[in-house]
Amino acid sequence: MEDRIKRIHDIAIENLKQDGYVAPVLIVEGKENAIVRIKGDKYEAMRQAGRKVAFLSPSVVIFISEAWMARKIPPEGKAVHDMSDKQECISIVAQKSNGEGYACFVPFSKVGKRILIGETEWLPEGGVVEANILKPFWLGVKEKGDK
């Protein structure tokens, strides 16, 4: 999975440089592969994507999007986007159906028309990646499979 994430990482950076943004996309690998554009409420869009592609028996799902990151956990009642040290980033989060996860975050800044790319942070680095954003996807897969 690490090699796939590294290829997706390189493509996402090129897309950011060329287009000025990274569209939220879900890559699903199973019996066949699928790409799903995520729009609107992320929880519901992820759940619906899981329901839609359940027939592929997904084994890996990878979510690519722009996000905010911060060096500290926000205080109670605040979100990352409320933090003063927040940083825009490309977020790439992958998870196998067995729960094993992998992620990277690519900080960037927009200065006029220039996009400055920071150093990529790869996870897990001796830890576990908890892919909360992907939980609704797997819930949707399970819901469709239960019917």
pLDDT digits (tens, 9 = 90+) for 59-109: 999 999 999 887 777 788 888 778 788 889 999 999 998 888 888 999 999
Confidence of residue 110 (pLDDT cuts 50, 70, 90): very high
Mean pLDDT of 18-33: 95
DSSP collapsed to 3 states, 27-94: EEECCCEEEEECCCCHHHHHHHHHHHHHHHCCCEEEEEEEEEECCCCCCCCCCHHHCCCCEEEEEEEE
Domain ranges for the chain: 2-146
Which two three-digit tokens encode residue 110? 């927009």
